[in-house]
Amino acid sequence: MSRKRVFTGSPWEPVVGYCRAIRIGNRIEVAGTTAMQNGEVIGVDDAYAQTLFILQTIEKALRELDADLTHVVRTRMFVTDISQWEEIGKAHGEFFSEIQPVATMVEVKALIDPLLLVEIEVEAHVDEQPAT
């Protein structure tokens, strides 16, 4: 099967050897996504703002792969302070309240930058092959 990839221009993509998202057939995986843009953290000290930015980034990547948020079947949220779960959950709900994928939220010790509070990855499934 062919692979279609989405790159965001992150300086880590070529160094680490990954892409933001990949579609193989009907399956789409979106890598752990944080609130970074051009090397700067968006929404410093604001888990809600970071989550909104992350989900917008994920939504854009899905569109580049001929999909959208309705195709998401799982989200995984990695947070550095679980006491902020309500703010993160509120933002997640604004994108997924009707879609209701399975979701996991776990607290982690740290993310790649100490200013990052949230990292999210998603899995999606589409019913049809993309146009080539």
Residue 130 lies inside a defined structural domain of this protein: no
Contact status, residue 102 vs residue 14, Cβ threshold 8 Å: no
Q: In total, how many domains does the chain have?
A: 1
Residue 89 lies inside a defined structural domain of this protein: yes
Residue 131 lies inside a defined structural domain of this protein: no
Map residue 14 onto helix, strand or coil. Answer: helix
Q: What is the pLDDT along the chain (132 residues), one digit of tens a residue?
A: 789 999 988 887 899 999 999 999 999 999 999 999 988 999 999 999 999 999 999 999 999 999 999 999 999 999 999 999 999 999 999 999 999 999 999 999 999 999 999 999 999 999 865 555
Q: Which domain holds residue 70?
A: 3-125
Residue 8 lies inside a defined structural domain of this protein: yes
Q: Is 0.85 topped by the overall pTM?
A: yes
Q: Please report, for the domain that includes residue 90, its CATH number.
A: 3.30.1330.40
Summarised one tens digit per residue, pLDDT across range 27-62 is 999 999 999 998 899 999 999 999 999 999 999 999
Residue 132 lies inside a defined structural domain of this protein: no
Q: Tell me, what's the pLDDT at 131?
A: 52
Cβ-in-10-Å burial (0-12, 13-18, 19+) of 46 comes to: middle
Residue 64 lies inside a defined structural domain of this protein: yes
